[in-house]
Amino acid sequence: MSAGRLILVPNSLDFGVSADGDLQEVLPLGVLRTAARLMHWVAENAKTTRGFLKRVDSIVPLAQPLQSLSIVELQRAQKGGARHAASPDLKSLLQPALEGHDVGLISEAGLPAIADPGAALVQAAHGLGIAVQPLSGPSSLLMALGASGLNGQSFAFVGYLPIDAGERGQRIRDLEALSKRAQQTQLMIETPYRNEALLGAMLAHLRGDTWLSVSSGLTLNTGWTHTARVSAWKGAPRALSNDVPAVFSLLAA
């Protein structure tokens, strides 16, 4: 029996915010058709995955009833302020693929394995000789970078910054220095309820002539991106929601 594939299935970026939007406005029809036929899933969150599949079913009927699908959660571990896949037996999650069935990987981060613990499962699939197929969908990081107007030729995603105020301030200054030296855009994210704290720290520690861009609620009708120098941000502060994901980008002058 030939091995199945690990299929990276993108989702919308509205989980926990607006789960009743039209998926066809965000995801290609081919993605929805693929999702509708998959029987085996590895998910960051089983509940939201079931919600996603209900929305798929309203457009492309599922091949099997939702209750009969296998949805297994990818265990997570905390490391350095970011979430990573825990290491127990990832092979067991890929067993259906070894038996010839395609397995869908879905996350809360738009594209699986990008700023997402699913990267460990993708690596495990390669180690087992399982083909990995990514499907097209939204990446909040690349959408924010494109909308920012900052350097899209050289950029780095640095994940979460330290929670400790002193360490966070130092990290922001270090990233600004790196950005200036390499003329490289630095992108980061934060847990939504700490969005305001991160923005405040960036305004406190960045130089006035550094460019700062914030993208909030991308793909939502209420989504926005604002780019200005730090001095302008201080003169006209902008409020951030504590329950809507945001991406922060900086580029030192």
Same domain, 67 and 105: yes
Same domain, 121 and 193: no
Q: Examine the pLDDT at 85 and tell me if it is beyond 60.
A: no
Domain boundary among 134, 162, 197: 134
Q: Are residues 138 and 220 in contact, defined by beta-carbon separation less than 8 angstroms?
A: no
Domain boundary among 116, 134, 152: 134
CATH number of domain containing 209:
3.30.950.10
Same domain, 127 and 184: no
Q: What is the pLDDT of residues 157-199, one digit of tens each?
A: 999 999 999 999 999 999 999 999 999 999 999 999 999 999 9
Same domain, 91 and 158: no
Domain boundary among 74, 99, 134: 134
**Residue 44 domain-assigned?**
yes
Nearest to 214 by CA among 223, 222, 51: 223
Same domain, 113 and 157: no
Same domain, 79 and 178: no
More confident residue, 181 or 19: 181
For the chain, percent of residues with pLDDT exceeding 90: 77
- Phi, psi values for residue 104, rounded to 5°: -90, 135
Q: Examine the pLDDT at 84 and tell me if it is beyond 80.
A: no
Domain boundaries, position 229: 140-251
CATH number of domain containing 34:
3.40.1010.10
Same domain, 109 and 162: no
Predicted structure pTM score: 0.87
Same domain, 184 and 117: no
Domain count along the chain: 2
Same domain, 46 and 145: no
Q: Examine the pLDDT at 82 and tell me if it is beyond 50.
A: no
In this prediction, residue 76 carries a pLDDT of 64
Q: Are residues 196 and 235 in contact, defined by beta-carbon separation less than 8 angstroms?
A: no
Same domain, 85 and 172: no
Q: What is the pLDDT of residues 21-74, one digit of tens each?
A: 688 989 999 999 999 999 999 998 999 999 999 999 999 999 999 999 999 998
Q: Per-residue confidence at 80, pLDDT binned at 50, 70, 90?
A: very low
More confident residue, 109 or 100: 100
**Residue 1 domain-assigned?**
no
Same domain, 40 and 117: yes
Rg of the chain taking only CA atoms, in angstroms: 19
Q: Examine the pLDDT at 147 and tell me if it is beyond 50.
A: yes
Tokens of 63: 């091949």
The pLDDT of 79-86, averaged and rounded, is 44
Label residue 98 exposed, middle or buried (CB < 10 Å: 0-12, 13-18, 19+).
middle
Q: What is the pLDDT of residues 210-253, one digit of tens each?
A: 999 999 999 888 899 999 999 999 999 899 999 899 999 999 99
Determine if residue 103 is left, alpha or beta; phi over 0 gives left, psi from -120 to 50 gives alpha, anything else beta: beta
